[in-house]
Structure 1
Amino acid sequence: MIRILLVDDHAVVREGYRRFLERSDDLRVVGEAEEADEGHRLWLQCAPDVTVVDLSMRGAGGMSLLMRIAARAPDARCLVFSMYEDALVAQRALEAGARGYVTKSSQPEVLVQAVRAVHAGGIYLSADIVQRRTAMAEDARRLATLTGKEHETFRLLAQGRTVADIARLLNLSAKTVANHQSQIRDKLGVATPAALVHLALRHGLIESPAPGLG
């Protein structure tokens, strides 16, 4: 029997998880919490085999709970079940101590598969996150082809800087910057300013889209 703790701040959602999970004879929910502090207390009290954690909760949030559990028990089996479909968020969750990441847009059966895989000691990622991680890896490969000046030009373009601004900031001619811009678009496979901004956002190179380009 796999004993499960659910940590999610929506009671109706938790009820749905519990009913679905307990359709399987080998799964049983032994505790439910609506925020991170309560989740940590119940984790200590119930000693679940797998803890299913949402990231977006009132208070400290799911990422904090993952780190608290991992600090006390590095081998704890935690599975994130989240609305966030960003590969970077999934990576941060894994670094915080999660053994799996499933998006809430996945089919319900995926959660059961993930619980069993994590309990068995594996790492489980839903298919959409795997696809996004693959795309991120391809993006990273393309970004690595940029020269130092091209990379800095790319970052400044993503911030909404004009060619003239970049030329002044990097002490280059406008023609050189324009050439860099063309090379960047060819190397990265981006055809529009918006696509360039979204690529920079995905890789954490800028904090927010330039006005009008998001």
Structure 2
Amino acid sequence: MECEPIWSDASDVPARVLIVDDHPAVREGLGFRIARCPDLVVCGEAADLSGALSEIEATNPDVAVVDIALGAESGLDLIRRLRSRHPPVKSLVWSMYPESLYAERALRAGAMGYITKQAATGRIIEAIRRVLAGEIFLSETAAHQMLRRVVGSGSSHGEISTEIPSPEATLSDRELDVLRLIGSGLTTSEVAERLHLSVHTIDTYRQRIKIKLGLRNGAELVRAATQWVLESRWPVI
């Protein structure tokens, strides 16, 4: 049974779970599921990065279940801060976005697992428990894709692809954040404000993105960013 406890003895106490998601109904649904499991307890909820950091200070969770999209903010930024400021707190990403987009980035940021919300209905409790046990949780497909990238594509013919690299394969995490906000319709100054960076820094990121994606000017950047946001199903801000 999904919620049968995995305690080793009667003295164990429930593991503390923090839910970080910008949709109240999603937090509520996951909270109900966790509440059915006697070895787990929801110690707090948050809708954004600052709220999550406050809850972590106040509740000292064992694991944080974090969405990638937190409004204009990225859950990856929260995971990085957890790794540097609160290393005992394990993190599990659950997201509506495919693992191919963000699973590897999430692990590099410090997460111990990635699960899509489509799969979460049947496996979210398993994922939380695996992460609490110190294990990495990924689907077999995502694990296989990462392994293939580590050992190489397997091509032995020296073929050169003419396909334009996808943003998620080419850009750094911060560059991807900038691309997402540009594609959501924000100006350079608005992107700078959202990411708490200078306009000059955002201009530098814009230039790097154009070079990496082979874009000639700002108009092409905006079109490419908008198309990527729509295709990736990011919520338009």
Output the aligned Cα RMSD: 2.7
Q: Give the secondary-structure state (helix, strand or coil) at the position aligned to 1:68.
A: helix
Higher Cα radius of gyration = 1
Partner of residue 163, structure 2: 158
**Partner Cα distance (2:37, 2:30) in 1:** 12
Distance in structure 1 (CA, Å) of the matches to 2:76 and 2:88:
16
Is residue 89 of structure 1 aligned with residue 55 of structure 2?
Answer: no
Q: Say whether the 8 Å CA contact 1:114–1:124 is kept in structure 2.
A: yes
- Alignment correspondent of 1:49: 62
Mapped pair 1:204 → 2:170: yes
> How much has 1:120 moved relative to structure 2?
1.0
Note the residue ranges of structure 1 that are not aligned, 5 or more in a row: 160-199
Query: 1:32 maps to what in 2?
Result: 45
Task: Give the deviation of 1:203 after TM superposition.
Answer: 4.0
The answer on 1:108 being equivalent to 2:121 is yes
Instruction: Tell me the alpha carbon deviations over residues 95-141 of structure 1, each in whole angstroms, 9 at most, x when there is no partner.
Output: 11101111111042311001111111111113443354456568722
- How far residue 71 of structure 1 moved from its aligned partner, in angstroms, is 0.8
Secondary structure at the counterpart of residue 74 of structure 1: coil
Taking the aligned partners of 2:87 and 2:120, their CA distance within structure 1 comes to: 29
Residues 1:18 and 2:18 are matched in the alignment: no
Residue 204 (structure 1) shift: 3.2
Counterpart contact for 1:100–1:125, Cα < 8 Å: yes
Q: 2:134 aligns with which of 121, 126, 133?
A: 121
Q: Is the 8 A contact 1:37 1:60 kept in 2?
A: no
Deviation at 1:59, TM superposition (A): 3.6
The amino acid across from 1:114 in the alignment is: A
Aligned match of 1:99: 112
Paired residues of 2:17 and 2:43 also in contact (CA < 8 A): yes
> Matched residues in 1 for 2:139 and 2:64: separation?
17
Aligned length: 163
Q: Aligned in 2, Cα 1:107/1:4: closer, same or farther, shift over 3 Å? A: closer
Report what 2:18 is aligned to: 5
Q: Match for residue 140 of structure 1?
A: 153
1:72 paired to 2:72: no
Match in the other structure for 1:172: none
Provide the identity percentage: 34
Residues in 2 aligned to 1:135 and 1:100: alpha-carbon distance in whole angstroms: 18
In 2, the alpha carbon distance for the partners of 1:57 and 1:107 equals: 18
Q: AA paired with 1:53?
A: V
What is the letter of the counterpart of residue 163 of structure 2?
Answer: A
Q: Secondary structure at the match of 2:54?
A: helix
TM-score using structure 2 length: 0.61
Equivalent AA in structure 1 for residue 104 of structure 2: Q
The alpha-carbon deviation at position 84 of structure 1 amounts to: 1.4
Conserved? CA contact 1:36–1:59, under 8 Å: no
Tell me which moved more, 113-122 or 127-136: 127-136
**Counterparts of 2:99 and 2:121 in 1: how far apart (Å)?**
19
**Distance in 2 separating the partners of 1:52 and 1:130:** 20
